[in-house]
Every structure is written in C-alpha cells, then in structure tokens.
C-alpha cells in the first residue's frame, strides 16, 4: 500500500508530505484547493504524462516521491525484469523529477529507470478511477483474468488441465516444425551430419590417446639429448676414455687392493664384501643404461606422424567438444539425430496423429473452460447489477461478453492462447435505452467511478492491486446513493487501501483517515496544504461540507450524527 507521498513544486504545492494509512483515506476541501494536484502527482509516479505547466511558477523542477509497502514475493518476477533490488522489509520507493526543459529522472529503490518501466510497475500498485488513466479495468486483456479469479477453483482446475494440454500440444508442434522444414534444408542437414560422423569415425579416437601421444612426442623431440646423456653415463660408469678410467674399473681396482691385504687384516673382508656387492649393482645399472641407450629412437618421420595426429585431435576438439570424450559423445548424439532425420517421414506421421489427438483434447478442454466461464459470468453480471442498483444506477446493465473463437489461422490451426479460445470483455449500458458498450466508452466521470466501484466491490477479493483511488466519484449523486457509495468504499477498504476525493459528507463520514486540502495565502504567494485531521476537526470539516461557510450548532450536530452512523455501520459490517 501507499505509505507516504511527498510533493514538491507542483502547481500550488510548495512542499507537502502526506502519510497515508490502511483502510479508507478521504481527501476533502474547497473547489480549487488542489485536490486534483494530489491525483496528478500520484499519476506522475505511476508513469503517466506530466505537463511542464504543472511545475510551480518560478521554479526549475518538480519532484514527487512515494513510499510503498509491498509483498516482495508478489513483485519478485517484475523486480527481476526491471533490474530493481527489493528491500528486505518490502519497502518500495519511487521518485520522479521533472524539469522545465522536459527532462525526466525516474528511480525505483534508487535505481534509474525509464518512464515506461515506472508505468509497468505503477499498474500493479495503484488503480485510479474517475479519470481514464491507469484504470486496470479499462484494459480489456485483464477482464478474462478477473472473470477466472471470480470463478474460483472450478475455473482454476479446468484452466490447469487446459494449460497442460496446451503445453503438450506446443511441444508436439515444435517437434513437427523441426522435422518438416524445407526439403533442401533437410537434405543439407543429412549431408552435414554424415560428414561430421565420418570425420569423427575416421579418426578412430581413443580415450587417453592425447596423453600417450604427448609422452611420445616429448621422447622423440628429445631423443638426441637422451642419447647423449645415456652414452656419457655409460662411458663414465663402464668404458672410460683416454683421460680417465671408468667407475667400474676403479671399483674393481679398489676391490683387488683390499683382497690383497685381507690376510694381513681379516677385518677388511667386510669392506671387501661391500665393495664387491657394489660392483655387482653397478654392473646391473650399466646394463640397464646400455639397454635404454640402445632403445632410444631418433625417428623424425614418427615425430611428424605424432604431430599430425595431435593436430587432427585438436581440430576435432575445436569443432565438436573440449575433450576426446565429448567428441565421441557428440558423435553418438548426431548419429541418433541422423537416424531420426532419415526416419523423419515415419516420425512425422506419428507426430501428426499425436497432434490430431492433442488438438481434439485441447479443444474439449477449451470448451469446458468456456462453459465454466459462462456460468461464472451470469453470477458476476447479477451481482454487479445489484451493486449498480445500490449506487442509484438502477437502469444500468452490466454484461460480460464471451466470444468463443473457433476460427482457424492462415495455417489452418485454431488460435489457442494461454486463456483458451475465449475473448472476454466487460460491457455496460449506464442508462435505459443506451446500447451496451466497452467500459472505456463511458463519457461521464461520475458514472465511470460508480461503475468501477460496483465492479471493484464484487472483485475485491480477487483483484490484487493493493491501492485504489476514486476521484469525482460523487458527481451527480446525493442522498441515499451517496450513502451507498460511502458504504461500498468502506467495504472495499477492508481488503484494499482506498483513497477518495469527495465533496459529499455521506462519503467523507465513512473515512478511517481524513485529510483536509486547503489553500493558504500570504502577501507574496498562495500554497496548497494537506493536513491530517483529528476527530474534532473531522466533525468540523463534515459540518463545513454540509453547511458551507456557515457552520452552526445544527450542522455540527448533524455531522456528529453522520460520523456515529458511519462508525456503527463499520462495527456491524
């Protein structure tokens, strides 16, 4: 709901801050005091057009800021779409600044947005009745949803069945479209798939092959280095050279020296045995080094083959997957796709049969939905008719037009939508002898407001727009009709926050919170002020509405009586 409205430099308003409550908020004041300015300011933060003429004379810009309390869950998808970060406590702040140069600056929770984004959110926050702007009931596409919500679980269950059928129907049509494209496209697809499969199959890829190739490539590209190191090691350990003897010769020589003195000192036999073991171990190492040296392969042709193989694998990975496993998996996938495409004639025939059955099933579901809506609309028409009668529009006729569209489109298909085959529109004949016509064609602001009030009162529990504003709802009514309007507004305010601009005491007395809008003049300027009235001042304002400038004890007594009657009504109802 709308918690706070701050207006700066709009028309006669210098700076006004209005804190609003739940329930019925009534705004009263003398003609020309600035009540319409409040509505224009609210329209501004809802994304409606704002004229430069509304900017207060002598100032460069006007600003409006509104604070709302919303259910983040309800608005989550819209916030995500608009890129708006919701506050944890559900606070929503919308601001709009408008300059004499025509520049707009709009923000939602601090994020810069466009006027169209502001309007998209605004339509979900507030409905204004009395002007033809921002009325959700004037948007024909909302009528079917309101009727379905009014119909309750009986329609909801049928709608879920229909939507399941519609999903299956669309999915089958999608499969058919992918298989029944242009014949040349199909042949090209087959050729491409065959080429890709052949290219992968010819490569005879093996999982783990890349790692093995890499090892071989490292060995071959370093064969000279390997050969040199192994030969040098072999020479140092076994063959020696003209400059120095080998390690093997040196160990054998040392062993001979020890053996020659063992008889002198038998303790040296242990050392001789260790040296002898070392000699045997060295012989084993020398033999292994020789074998490794002899096995080193210096083969430029083999290295070239390995490079070519690695390059082939790289190219296949670049085209079909990031690894050999993915390339092989892709091959399996397109083999199945090729098989399906080649056999598509057979598959298409099966899908066409399936589509016929689904079409029939979907049409039956749409017919059932249509039947349930017809029943719901009869009840809705009667109840709204009664409401209009209470509001002194006894000759008014409310009708729900439901057109079941069986026509086929250019492709020979029925025009199934998310709502079935129904097109729903609310029609009204406000006066006897007038033809039924769309709500948007109602010329009288007072009639329009009362019609909207009647519809809103019946649909209050299914309409999720939290705040309703009724402007000029009292035009052309008085007496009992005015009393009924006040009671209807009070009833709606139990499930919605309601703001009402009125000149009638019968409506004003029903307020939960009352605001007085008045002009205050000084020597150099005139400004509009908005004040929240306490109980004593409310009675005085009701008396002013009843008696005009002259407030007597009689009008005060009458005002007190009206407020008591209103309080009694709210307690009983």
pLDDT in tens, 516-571: 998 888 777 888 889 999 988 999 999 998 887 678 888 999 999 999 999 999 99
Together in a domain, 114 and 227: no
Together in a domain, 298 and 363: no
- Statement: residue 284 has pLDDT above 70: yes
Together in a domain, 385 and 264: no
Together in a domain, 301 and 375: no
Query: For residue 132, what pLDDT is reported?
Result: 45
Query: Is 442 a domain residue?
Result: yes
Question: CA-CA-CA-CA torsion for 204, 210, 214, 220, nearest 10 degrees?
Answer: -10
Together in a domain, 309 and 371: no
Query: Is 194 a domain residue?
Result: no
To the question of pTM greater than 0.75 for the whole model, the response is: no
Query: Is 526 a domain residue?
Result: yes
Percent of the chain with pLDDT over 70: 93
Query: Is 562 a domain residue?
Result: no
Q: How far is CA 236 from the centre of its chain?
A: 77
Last residue within a domain, chosen from 281, 309, 326: 326
Choice between 564 and 277, residue whose per-residue pLDDT is larger: 564
Are the C-beta atoms of 488 and 457 separated by less than 8 Å?
Answer: yes
Together in a domain, 256 and 317: yes
Query: What range defines the domain where residue 77 resides?
Result: 2-159+358-532
CATH number, domain of 422, equals 3.40.50.300
**Residue pointed to by tokens 């045997």:** 280
Are the C-beta atoms of 317 and 221 separated by less than 8 Å?
Answer: no
Alpha helices in 343-465 (DSSP H): 344-390, 445-459
Structure tokens at 345: 């004639």
Distant-in-sequence, close-in-space partners of 108: CB < 8 Å, separation ≥ 6:
82, 84, 92, 93, 94, 117, 118, 121
Together in a domain, 277 and 399: no
Are the C-beta atoms of 172 and 358 separated by less than 8 Å?
Answer: yes
Q: CA-CA distances (angstroms) from residue 481 to 392, 474, 504? A: 5, 9, 11
Total structural domains within the chain:
2
Sequence-separated contacts (24+) of 317-325 with Cβ below 8 Å: 319/196, 320/196, 320/200, 324/205, 324/206, 324/207, 324/208, 324/209, 324/210, 325/207
Give the residue-averaged pLDDT of 391-409.
89
Query: Is 563 a domain residue?
Result: no
Together in a domain, 257 and 390: no
Three-state SS string over 487-515 comes to HHHHHHCCCCEEEEECCCHHHHCCCCEEE
Query: For residue 30, what pLDDT is reported?
Result: 86
Run of H or E residues at 202:
helix 183-203
Query: Is 477 a domain residue?
Result: yes
Q: Of 259, 286, 289, nearest to 274 (Cα)?
A: 259
Q: Of 473, 493, 494, 475, nearest to 485 (Cα)?
A: 473
- Rounded to the nearest 5°, which phi and psi values hold at 10? -115, 120
Query: For residue 134, what pLDDT is reported?
Result: 45
Arithmetic mean of pLDDT over the chain? 85
List pLDDT tens digits, range 293-320: 777 666 667 777 778 888 888 889 889 9
Give the Cα separation of 319 and 325 in Å (integer): 13
Last residue within a domain, chosen from 326, 344, 377: 326
Are the C-beta atoms of 93 and 114 separated by less than 8 Å?
Answer: no
List pLDDT tens digits, range 486-499: 998 998 998 899 99
Together in a domain, 368 and 515: yes
Q: Report the alpha-carbon angle 27-551-30, nearest 5.
A: 30
Q: Of 237, 284, 279, nearest to 255 (Cα)?
A: 279
Together in a domain, 317 and 366: no
Together in a domain, 147 and 252: no
- Statement: residue 427 has pLDDT above 90: yes
Query: Is 185 a domain residue?
Result: no
Query: Is 377 a domain residue?
Result: yes
Give the Cα separation of 479 and 65 in Å (integer): 37
For the chain, the helix, strand and coil percentages under 3-state DSSP, each to the nearest 5: 55, 15, 25
Give the residue-averaged pLDDT of 40-55.
86
Choice between 302 and 109, residue whose per-residue pLDDT is larger: 109
Together in a domain, 391 and 526: yes
End-to-end, the C-alpha distance of the chain in Å comes to 23
């Amino acid at each position: 709901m709308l918690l706070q409205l701050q207006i700066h430099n709009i028309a006669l308003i210098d700076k006004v801050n209005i804190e609003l409550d739940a329930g019925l908020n009534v705004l009263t004041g003398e003609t020309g005091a600035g009540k319409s300015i409040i509505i224009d300011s609210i329209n501004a933060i809802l994304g409606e057009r704002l004229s430069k003429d509304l900017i207060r004379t002598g100032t460069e810009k006007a600003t409006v800021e509104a604070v709302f309390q919303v259910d983040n869950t309800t608005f989550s998808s819209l916030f995500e779409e608009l890129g708006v970060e919701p506050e944890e406590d559900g606070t929503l702040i919308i601001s709009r600044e408008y300059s004499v140069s025509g520049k707009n600056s709009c923000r939602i929770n601090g994020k810069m947005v466009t006027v169209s984004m502001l309007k998209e959110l605004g339509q979900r926050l507030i409905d204004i009745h009395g002007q033809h702007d921002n009325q959700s009931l004037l948007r024909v596409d909302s009528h079917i949803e309101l009727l379905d919500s009014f119909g309750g679980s009986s329609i909801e269950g049928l709608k879920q069945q229909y939507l399941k059928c519609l999903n299956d129907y669309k999915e089958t049509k999608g499969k058919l479209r992918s298989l029944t494209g242009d014949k040349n496209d199909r042949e090209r697809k087959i050729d491409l798939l065959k080429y890709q499969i052949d290219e992968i199959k010819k490569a005879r890829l093996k999982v783990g092959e890349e790692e093995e190739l890499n090892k071989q490539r490292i060995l071959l590209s370093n064969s000279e280095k390997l050969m040199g190191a192994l030969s040098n090691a072999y020479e140092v350990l076994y063959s020696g050279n003209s400059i120095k003897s080998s390690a093997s010769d040196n160990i054998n020589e040392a062993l001979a020296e020890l053996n020659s003195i063992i008889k002198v000192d038998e303790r040296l036999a242990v050392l001789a045995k260790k040296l002898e073991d070392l000699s045997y171990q060295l012989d084993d190492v020398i033999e292994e080094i020789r074998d490794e040296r002899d096995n080193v392969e210096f083969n430029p042709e083999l290295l070239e083959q390995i490079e070519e193989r690695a390059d082939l694998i790289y190219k296949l990975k670049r085209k079909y997957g990031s690894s050999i496993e993915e390339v092989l998996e892709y091959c399996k996938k397109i083999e199945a796709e090729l098989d399906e495409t080649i056999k598509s004639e057979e598959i298409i025939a099966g899908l066409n049969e399936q589509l016929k059955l689904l079409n029939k099933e979907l049409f039956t579901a749409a017919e059932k939905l249509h039947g349930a809506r017809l029943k719901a609309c009869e009840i809705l028409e009667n109840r709204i008719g009664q409401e209009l009668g209470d509001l002194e529009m006894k000759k008014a006729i409310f009708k729900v037009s439901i057109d079941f569209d069986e026509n086929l489109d250019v492709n020979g298909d029925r025009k199934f939508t998310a709502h079935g085959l129904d097109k729903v529109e609310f029609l009204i004949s406000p006066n006897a002898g007038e033809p039924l016509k769309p709500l948007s064609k109602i010329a009288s602001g007072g009639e329009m407001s009362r019609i909207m009030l009647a519809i809103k009162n019946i649909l209050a529990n299914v309409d999720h727009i939290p705040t309703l504003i009724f402007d000029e709802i009292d035009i052309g009514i008085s007496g009992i009709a005015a009393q009924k309007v006040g009671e209807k507004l009070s009833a709606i305010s139990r499930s919605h926050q309601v703001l009402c601009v009125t000149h009638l005491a019968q409506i004003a007395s029903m307020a939960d919170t009352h605001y007085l809008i008045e002009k205050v003049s000084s020597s150099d300027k005139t400004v509009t002020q908005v004040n929240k009235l306490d109980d004593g001042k409310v009675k005085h304002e009701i008396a002013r509405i009843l008696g005009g400038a002259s407030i007597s004890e009689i009008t005060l007594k009458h005002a007190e009586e009206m407020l008591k009657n209103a309080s009694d009504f709210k307690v009983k109802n």
